[in-house]
Structure 1
Amino acid sequence: RQVVRQAKGMRMLTCMLLSSRLVQADWTGVLGLNFDSDETVEQRTMQCPSGFITGLQVKHGRDHRTDVDMYDFKLKCGSRWSAWSGMTFKDFQEEKVFECPMKMHVTGLSVKRGRREFGDVDTYDFKLQCSGVWQDYMGLGVQSERQQGSKECPAGTMAWAWKSYRGFVKRGDIDNYEFELNCKSAADAQQAIRKMPSLRELGLAHNVFMWSVDDVVTWLNALGLGEHGPAFVANKLQGDVVFMLLESHLQDMGMYKIGDRLYFMEELTQLHDSTKAWSKALNVQLTSIRTLPDVRRLGLPVQAVSWSVKEVGVWVRELGLPGWVDRFREHRIQGDTMFSLNEQSLQEMGVAAIGDRLYIVDCLQSLYEELTAWKKKQEAVRTQAQPTRMLAGGASTGASSAREDAGSSNKVLQKLLSQGYTMADILSVMKSRPDVAAQLGFGSTGGR
């Protein structure tokens, strides 16, 4: 009778499968688990409206009064979860979720079935194959494993639809489930495979240098690497330093899987290129939310190599990094050594956050370039300030009138200002060059 009943159940299931194939010919077929039913087989079909299946959520319920075990299912399609399939369900017991890593797609399904005769308990657990790699079972409680079945999508295809069947045998209160996947060619939705996230859809600015740490984590989640978000937060990685990351940094933060690191670096490169292209197309300056401190406003000497340990600490504090000032003081970092600092030496000093180390190194480079440019500008002012070169008509003669002298000095001043020199630059030169001061109409009293 058991064999006849099972054959009857399989015939019912086979008829349902054949009818479904008239509509869609790419179903894998059921997994091969024992299946029979005294009642009408319950069937549910779920399809991803676009893209492919990337995750599975399963909940298990049990009616202890009737010894009936029930399961219901939910699919993740791309980055969005579907609704529950609507299989008969009540008396929730447990729930498990599994998502393919790195936005991979489901290419196979394996199910193991358990049966405990005492209490008529029927339990199932599920395992996904993601992009050809079998993952671990979800961890649903399976008692006394009896059977296992699996199916894989044909080569070059991925699952985009799911069918579940439920049968019930009254004698023994046996709850039977079967499953199959529908697979289609990956080429049909090639654009959906690990493409770079849309910044507009994520609500992120095109100028990545303006991103906060939370913005970087939002982008990381969109890549399917959200598990590493806490490490990015702890290391204070915001938009103005994220492009400085190396693969070694990712490994230091716990991204141990080589595939994850390579994927992240590839996406980061594409993000950098698209940011530069956006800036060039709109002629927009890529500025950061953090700016380099103005050393003159802080009252610091322009010659940074002369800074004391205290003055270096003032500059570090103005970077928005007061927590590391003591580290600089403890290691006696002065102006004549701070430009030799690199990320490794900062790490040895105890600057733990990767983002802070990268930011300090970047700011030191920017400060060096800024001060070097300022020095060159000062030298240019001194060169331009030669009496025979500053006056358009040559040096004034003793026979020139006071009006002519004033006109010549005004021309000199206007010429310097038109070349981009500020009054502060000109006054700085005048202090060390009395002859220039005289040419500009300033006497020994300092007044004009």
Structure 2
Amino acid sequence: SPISMWRVLRVACCLVPVNCAWTGLLGLTFDSNSPVEAKSLACPSGFITGIRVKYGRTRQEDRDLYDFKLKCQNRWTSWSGLFFKSEVEDKTWECPSKMYVTGMEVKRGRREWGDKDTYDFKLQCSGVWQTFLGMKFGGEQEHASSECPSGEGSSGLKVFRGFVDWGDKDLYEFDLHCKSIAQNLASIRGLPDLKMLGLPRNTLLWDGEQLGSWLDALGLGQLAPFFMFHNVNGGTVFLLTEDHLRELGFSLVGDRLYFIELLTQLYDDIVQWSASLGVQLATHPVPPLRQLGLSLQPTSWTVKDVCKVLKAVGLGEYMELFVEHRVQGDVLFNLTEENLKEMGIEKVGDRLLIADIVQTLYEQVTGWQQQQVTKPQLLQLSGA
């Protein structure tokens, strides 16, 4: 009966230590007159950053089978191990860079003709709801969601599957595991205390020397000169990838992976801190176009107009390269970091700065940034 099934699920959810913060079942319709399948997936460290879902349909038995795997930081777990066959589709969603899962929404569909049960899934990444995966879906019946408390991220997922013979119903329920960002920070080796180092809490404001102090505290001080040479500072350090780190002198795999993990934790910390202050983070705001005498439609800009923006953000030394390579407004938004490198911009930090400003400009002119934030509310490189 439904009551006995809820008891089974409650018992299954309690078979974890008390300090494990499971958010509770989503509340989707669930029943089974056969043994409930229950599987758990968990990240050994850090938070979930993506999900992969595969769907199988057995026509003879009218079974609708789903299985799941999680992305933890940069690595995928194995499949959960739910019974599965006859794959129909496989979908993946990953959170944007440096973001992690903080919630999940599931919608359930049912078509009585053919006894078909379908589900689709949506993640919340660092407080921002994404779109549904786009699984095959029809006959929506209900949807339910769960979110981690403020200051926490999801590090695990439980999946329950029940089957009802009458109508060949495959029913699923889910439970998210959340843990605090502070707890995760404490688990990372050697994370230095910014206050003890005399560094600003707003890491976006760090200059090259302050970033060097942080590197030194990590035991990576020998690499600080490379960061200085490449103009990498607090505003661009979070844009670094493993390929960039190779350019910056990280020859050891362990050091690169260690540094990327610490960057993720540092980013989590500043996001949590800014949220507690009620302010919005920003790195490289676009200079006021009207004051520069520029059109608000960058695709109409000449090379000279593009150079005005470069000069306004302190990158005037590259104006000749943009003129030489005829980079004007109609190609500006197609410009990649690889293009910048080909043009002769060798410094990693400068390439990242240009790419970030172009992206910010694109979001601004296409109306993706709807919320207007006044200057005192905005944490950025040019302010405290």
Show CA shifts across 1:314-335 (max 9, x none): xxxxxxxxxxxxxxxxxxxxxx
Shift in CA distance, 98/256, structure 1 to aligned 2, threshold 3 Å? farther
Could you say which residue in structure 1 is the equivalent of 2:117? 122
| Alpha-carbon contact 1:214-1:233 (below 8 Å) kept | no
Shift in CA distance, 55/172, structure 1 to aligned 2, threshold 3 Å? same
Aligned with 2:172 (options 137, 153, 177): 177
CA shift for structure 1 position 21: 4.6
CA shift for structure 1 position 162: 0.8
Shift in CA distance, 52/215, structure 1 to aligned 2, threshold 3 Å? closer
What is the one-letter code of the residue matched to 2:149?
P
Aligned with 1:168 (options 152, 159, 163): 163
What is the one-letter code of the residue matched to 2:74?
S
Could you say which residue in structure 2 is the equivalent of 1:136? 131
Aligned with 2:77 (options 82, 90, 93): 82
Could you say which residue in structure 1 is the equivalent of 2:100? 105
RMSD (CA atoms): 4.3
Shift in CA distance, 157/219, structure 1 to aligned 2, threshold 3 Å? farther
Cα separation, 2, equivalents of 1:82 and 1:229: 35
Map residues 41-56 of structure 1 onto 2, 5 A cutoff.
41-56=36-51
| Alpha-carbon contact 1:110-1:150 (below 8 Å) kept | yes
What is the one-letter code of the residue matched to 2:6?
M
Aligned with 1:20 (options 12, 15, 34): 15
- Matched position secondary structure for 2:10: helix
Shift in CA distance, 155/219, structure 1 to aligned 2, threshold 3 Å? farther
| Alpha-carbon contact 1:159-1:184 (below 8 Å) kept | yes
| Alpha-carbon contact 1:68-1:175 (below 8 Å) kept | yes
What is the one-letter code of the residue matched to 1:108?
G
Structure 1: gaps (5+ residues): 261-265, 269-448
Show CA shifts across 1:235-265 (max 9, x none): 33677233334755534368745899xxxxx
| Alpha-carbon contact 1:216-1:239 (below 8 Å) kept | no
Cα separation, 2, equivalents of 1:214 and 1:103: 13
Could you say which residue in structure 1 is the equivalent of 2:346? 240
Identity level (%) = 44
Could you say which residue in structure 1 is the equivalent of 2:5? 9
Cα separation, 2, equivalents of 1:108 and 1:249: 30
- Matched position secondary structure for 1:161: strand
Could you say which residue in structure 1 is the equivalent of 2:278? none
Show CA shifts across 1:26-56 (max 9, x none): 1000100000001111011111111111111
Shift in CA distance, 230/55, structure 1 to aligned 2, threshold 3 Å? farther
Shift in CA distance, 135/214, structure 1 to aligned 2, threshold 3 Å? closer
Matched, 1:68 2:68: no
CA shift for structure 1 position 80: 1.1
Shift in CA distance, 257/27, structure 1 to aligned 2, threshold 3 Å? farther
Show CA shifts across 1:134-167 (max 9, x none): 1111111211111101111112111111100010
Could you say which residue in structure 2 is the equivalent of 1:40? 35
Show CA shifts across 1:301-357 (max 9, x none): xxxxxxxxxxxxxxxxxxxxxxxxxxxxxxxxxxxxxxxxxxxxxxxxxxxxxxxxx
Shift in CA distance, 103/109, structure 1 to aligned 2, threshold 3 Å? same
Shift in CA distance, 186/236, structure 1 to aligned 2, threshold 3 Å? same
Please report the TM-score for the alignment, with normalisation by the length of structure 2: 0.56
Which deviates the most, 232-241 or 186-195?
186-195
| Alpha-carbon contact 1:58-1:73 (below 8 Å) kept | yes
Higher relative contact order (CA 8 A, sep 6+): 2
Could you say which residue in structure 2 is the equivalent of 1:250? 356
User: Which structure has more strand as a fraction of its residues?
Assistant: 2
Cα separation, 1, equivalents of 2:129 and 2:146: 11
Cα separation, 2, equivalents of 1:174 and 1:168: 6
Cα separation, 1, equivalents of 2:117 and 2:247: 42
| Alpha-carbon contact 1:107-1:131 (below 8 Å) kept | yes
CA shift for structure 1 position 218: 7.7
User: Which structure has more helix as a fraction of its residues?
Assistant: 1
Shift in CA distance, 106/63, structure 1 to aligned 2, threshold 3 Å? same
Cα separation, 2, equivalents of 1:109 and 1:158: 11
Map residues 24-423 of structure 1 onto 2, 5 A cutoff.
24-190=19-185, 207=226, 215-216=243-244, 231-236=336-341, 240-245=346-351, 247=353, 249-252=355-358, 256=362
CA shift for structure 1 position 106: 0.9
Structure 2: gaps (5+ residues): 192-202, 205-210, 231-240, 249-256, 265-332, 370-378
Cα separation, 2, equivalents of 1:180 and 1:85: 14
- Count of aligned pairs: 253
CA shift for structure 1 position 12: 2.1
Cα separation, 2, equivalents of 1:214 and 1:43: 37
Please report the TM-score for the alignment, with normalisation by the length of structure 1: 0.48
